[in-house]
Structure 1
């Protein structure tokens, strides 16, 4: 069993969109704005995405949903339950703050932490990493040794918690409970910026080592 994960950087905020290919079954994760490169990759590979998976509901992670849903109407939008309202509310998804209010098609399925999703032969566990948004989740695949963290955990940093609905203590607690126990070699695939590993973040991320106050 193999899982291929490709990264496509989208839009002015350089959102990392991901294409998962597990034994010919394709998912797209966090299709951001200006999704043409993502659409081009899917068509070049002959993929028909079965699922459009969201880590959270901010505008820079949902802006491409409409284009992908138009191109592949059967693709199912899967969204964390507590962030579902953000897809239809430009104020909640923060796109209104950029004077570019957007809405996305409604979700076809809502997920919560503790569930497991199947992409081909690969299993993706839904982990609670809320705190950047009320419903933010990460998706962990043991077979791929990878976790898709959205804007919860970055290389050397964490998601912003000065936004509506955010909570610093909640985010830190969830990261420590639900991500740091993963194996050291687990790849951290974030919503922006370069990838990392769980081991590296456990050792060096100042927000998780208690050294953030030194900066």
Structure 2
């Protein structure tokens, strides 16, 4: 499995492309906003000679879904997220209006991601961790063979997800971090929704928000 990342849109959101040895690919949190960003994504797929198979969301905040409609319609691929995230997804247009951003709503989900599910992406196991708190239906994608965690906006280098947004819950976020994220191996590489990668071990030692967890 290969991982490619594009930092996109006004919020510098990390859009991830995962490419299996089978030549199949999956995109996580396509925040692609501008024509240039979408062209860069298309070029990545071309460079990898990969066939896109699906869109998966860690959560449905606007910055993570700005490119969903474009990807879904351009590549005709299914969309998946957790059912508890539906309310966030369906109100994205209101957030876009508040932020002054252009947004075309994406399609309804093809299906819902189940907490604890094990996905097969081209022969690679991808475990779904249900980690609500930043948003009600937030999930993270853990690839045990690679030692990777796509954490969305739950954990960042030196910080944690914003818990002051509508539908966010600090207590729930800390529970998700304590019971799911921080129990992963220390060497696990964390690929967050914003900013640089880190490891579970580094964050356990240095992240000021985790010292009392």
Same fold (TM over 0.5): yes
Q: Distance in 2 between matches of 1:151 and 1:193?
A: 10
Partner of 1:67: 70
Partner of 2:118: 116
Unmatched segments (≥5 aa) in structure 2: none
* CA RMSD in angstroms, aligned pairs only: 1.6
Provide Cα deviations, 1:125-165, integer angstroms capped at 9, x if missing partner.
Answer: 11121101011010101011000000110001001011100
Q: Distance in 1 between matches of 2:196 and 2:137?
A: 23
- Any residues of structure 2 matched to 1:168-187 within 5 Å, and which? 168-187=170-189
Unmatched segments (≥5 aa) in structure 1: none
Please state whether the residue corresponding to 1:18 is helix, strand or coil.
Answer: strand
C-alpha contact 1:4 1:21 (8 A) present in aligned 2 = yes
Q: Distance in 2 between matches of 1:160 and 1:67?
A: 27
C-alpha contact 2:26 2:121 (8 A) present in aligned 1 = yes
Question: Size of the alignment, in residue pairs?
Answer: 207
From 27, 47, 52, the equivalent of 2:50 is 47
C-alpha contact 2:125 2:143 (8 A) present in aligned 1 = yes
The alignment's TM-score, normalised by the length of structure 1, stands at 0.91
C-alpha contact 1:87 1:106 (8 A) present in aligned 2 = no
Partner of 2:30: 31
Query: Which stretch of the first structure deviates more once superposed, 158-167 or 40-49?
Result: 40-49
Query: Which stretch of the first structure deviates more once superposed, 152-161 or 201-210?
Result: 201-210
The alignment's TM-score, normalised by the length of structure 2, stands at 0.92
Partner of 1:84: 86
From 17, 20, 23, the equivalent of 2:18 is 20
Provide Cα deviations, 1:13-35, integer angstroms capped at 9, x if missing partner.
Answer: 11100110112221011000234
Q: Distance in 1 between matches of 2:6 and 2:64?
A: 12
Please state whether the residue corresponding to 2:92 is helix, strand or coil.
Answer: coil
Q: Distance in 1 between matches of 2:52 and 2:183?
A: 31
1:97 and 2:83 matched: no
Please state whether the residue corresponding to 2:60 is helix, strand or coil.
Answer: coil
1:158 and 2:157 matched: no
From 201, 204, 207, the equivalent of 2:206 is 204
C-alpha contact 2:79 2:109 (8 A) present in aligned 1 = yes
Please state whether the residue corresponding to 1:105 is helix, strand or coil.
Answer: coil
